[in-house]
């Protein structure tokens, strides 16, 4: 992981240690807008999705911004933790991409599709492929895995890989379901998706991304100020530029985010 920020940060009482996996140009604007409000961001850019929640729980950072509520819920349930969303940011559609085919219909019977192997993004990827008509799930679980695929009724087979490898796999598979983070890093145009889910669908609520902190800090006024700074028009425009307009901004009250998270966590506990 790499840390960015002012070397004088430790001397200020308005320092926030924030973690992400997506340090891009929008974060430069975010950092500057925070500085304009007298807040120094000490940014840690983690190399994979597993680290930011663990760092937050261990008090190595104060807040993170990298995950949707489904991912957070899975972490909390698995680790008996209570990390809490304090502000919504955006929903990023999850899309299917290909270098070999120009449409979903072109993907052949028995084609191979790479999907992320972390449980939450894997489940969402399977729903994307089912909605695209490429596979059928044999159960109505909200957290499916490849074991839930009805192979006889499906057109494609899936290969779970590390999320960072989904874009790199494009040359060797018929298609790949890729998170926006890795689209930019790999130079894949987000508008070239053969299919993507709809961020405006109520079923997309679990995929709202959020600023997250420890439960005991959810009312910290300094952290709540960062929620408002993220929504500054200049930060929003920078994020839109980085994502090429594919991320849909979301402005939901923290109380609603907690309710959605509670539903997600209960569903996971129930094994549905």
| Boundary residue ending a domain (179, 196, 213) | 196
| Boundary residue ending a domain (196, 217, 250) | 196
User: Residue 114, Cα to own-chain centre: how many angstroms?
Assistant: 18
Statement to judge: residues 177 and 100 lie in one domain: yes
Q: What angle do CA 153, 264, 117 make, to 5 degrees?
A: 50
* pLDDT on residue 4: 57
Quick: pLDDT tens for 52-94.
999 999 999 999 999 999 999 999 999 999 999 999 999 988 9
Statement to judge: residues 190 and 209 lie in one domain: no
Query: Of 157, 175, 180, 171, which is closest to residue 104 (Cα–Cα)?
Result: 175
Number of domains in the chain: 2
Instruction: Please give the order of strands across the beta sheet that includes 195-196.
Output: 156-161, 111-116, 175-178, 95-97, 195-196
DSSP 173-202: SSEEEE-HHHHHHHT--GGG-SEE--TTSG
Statement to judge: residues 215 and 149 lie in one domain: no
Statement to judge: residues 68 and 9 lie in one domain: yes
Where would I find the beta strands (DSSP E) of 209-268?
Answer: 209-213, 248-249
Over residues 2-26, mean pLDDT:
73
CA dihedral 79, 83, 85, 89 (to 10 degrees): -70
| Boundary residue ending a domain (196, 226, 241) | 196
Nearby residues of 218 by Cβ (< 8 Å), 6 or more positions away: 84, 86, 254
Statement to judge: residues 102 and 69 lie in one domain: no
- The domain that holds 164 is classified in CATH as 3.40.190.10
pLDDT at 131 exceeding the cut of 80: yes
Statement to judge: residues 220 and 169 lie in one domain: no
Statement to judge: residues 148 and 224 lie in one domain: no
Statement to judge: residues 69 and 140 lie in one domain: no
Higher confidence at residue 182 or residue 236?
A: 236
Domain, as residue range, for 54: 2-92+205-270
Confidence of residue 156 (pLDDT cuts 50, 70, 90): very high
Statement to judge: residues 192 and 100 lie in one domain: yes
Query: Of 209, 263, 257, which is closest to residue 49 (Cα–Cα)?
Result: 209
Nearby residues of 188 by Cβ (< 8 Å), 6 or more positions away: 97, 167, 170, 178, 182
Dihedral sign computed on CA atoms, order 225, 38, 247, 121: negative
Statement to judge: residues 78 and 212 lie in one domain: yes
Statement to judge: residues 218 and 260 lie in one domain: yes
Over residues 196-218, mean pLDDT:
93
Statement to judge: residues 192 and 247 lie in one domain: no
pLDDT at 188 exceeding the cut of 60: yes
Lowest mean pLDDT among 21-35, 52-66, 134-148, 160-174: 134-148
């Amino acid at each position: 992981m790499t840390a960015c920020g002012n070397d004088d940060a430790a001397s200020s009482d308005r320092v926030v240690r924030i973690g992400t996996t997506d340090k891009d140009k929008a974060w430069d604007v975010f950092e500057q807008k925070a500085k304009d409000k007298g807040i120094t961001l000490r940014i840690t850019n983690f190399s994979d999705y597993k680290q930011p929640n663990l760092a937050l729980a261990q008090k190595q950072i104060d807040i993170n911004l990298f995950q949707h509520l489904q991912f957070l819920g899975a972490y909390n349930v698995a680790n008996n933790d209570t990390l809490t969303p304090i502000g919504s940011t955006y929903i990023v559609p999850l899309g299917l991409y290909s270098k070999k085919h120009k449409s979903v219909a072109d993907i052949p019977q028995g084609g191979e599709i790479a999907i992320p192997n972390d449980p939450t993004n894997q489940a969402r990827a399977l729903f994307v492929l089912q909605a695209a008509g490429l596979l059928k799930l044999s159960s109505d679980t909200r957290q499916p895995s490849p074991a839930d695929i009805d192979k006889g009724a499906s057109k494609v087979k899936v290969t779970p890989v590390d999320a960072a490898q989904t874009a790199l796999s494009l040359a060797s598979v018929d298609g790949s379901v890729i998170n926006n983070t890795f689209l930019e890093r790999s130079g894949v145009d987000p508008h070239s998706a053969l299919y993507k889910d709809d961020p405006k669908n109520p079923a997309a609520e679990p995929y709202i991304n959020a600023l997250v902190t420890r439960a005991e800090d959810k009312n910290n006024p300094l952290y709540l100020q960062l929620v408002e700074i993220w929504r500054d028009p200049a930060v929003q425009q920078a994020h839109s530029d980085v994502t090429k307009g594919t991320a849909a901004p979301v402005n939901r009250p923290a109380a609603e985010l907690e309710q959605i998270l509670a539903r997600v966590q209960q569903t996971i506990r129930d094994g549905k």
